[in-house]
Amino acid sequence: MIKDSARRSLVKAISWRILASIDTFFIAYFISGKTLIAAPIALSEVFTKILLYYLHERLWNFISWGRENGKPNSIRSLVKSISWRIWGTLDTIFISIIICGNIKHAFAIGIFELITKTSLYFVHERLWAQIKWGRIETVYKNSYELK
């Protein structure tokens, strides 16, 4: 079985956050029309979402479903994209409410992200599926083996 190292998960989290924060900034700016709202939302997410993404990656590391020859297949990437987007959207809505104080804007930003971020995350996952760095092959002995 092949698993991802903690270092790989961290680098993936950072690469995703850069891409996603740029997307968040543009969405928040488009909806609010204000840089002074869009920038703090995007910057706040850098901290909350790197942690959330890292934890999400580590959790998915325990799920072997959808890995063929140690490499994630497209269905796994899609399900993982959806599960991440749920947590990511909730975080965005919460941060947006705190920063802009407008619940309508906060939910609009979160809902808009459902479309853009799910697509971006899927592409990010497929790109990382091609990178071998940070993958660890583990060998498990069958505990039912006769000695």
Residue scoring higher pLDDT (68 or 30): 30
In this structure, of 23-37, 61-75, 132-146, the range with the lowest mean pLDDT score is 132-146
Copy the structure tokens of residue 12: 């993936």
User: In degrees to the nearest 10, what's the CA dihedral of 121, 99, 44, 94?
Assistant: -50
Residues forming beta bridges with residue 4, ordered by sequence position: 135
Half-sphere exposure of 41 (CA within 13 A, CB side): 36
Q: Which residues contact 109 (CB under 8 A, 6 or more apart)?
A: 24, 27, 28, 31, 41, 92, 93, 96
Phi, psi of 42 (to 5 degrees): -65, -40
pTM higher than 0.85 for the full model? no
- Please write the tens of the pLDDT for every residue from 64-96: 888 877 778 889 988 988 898 898 899 999 999
Residue 147 is predicted with a pLDDT of: 43
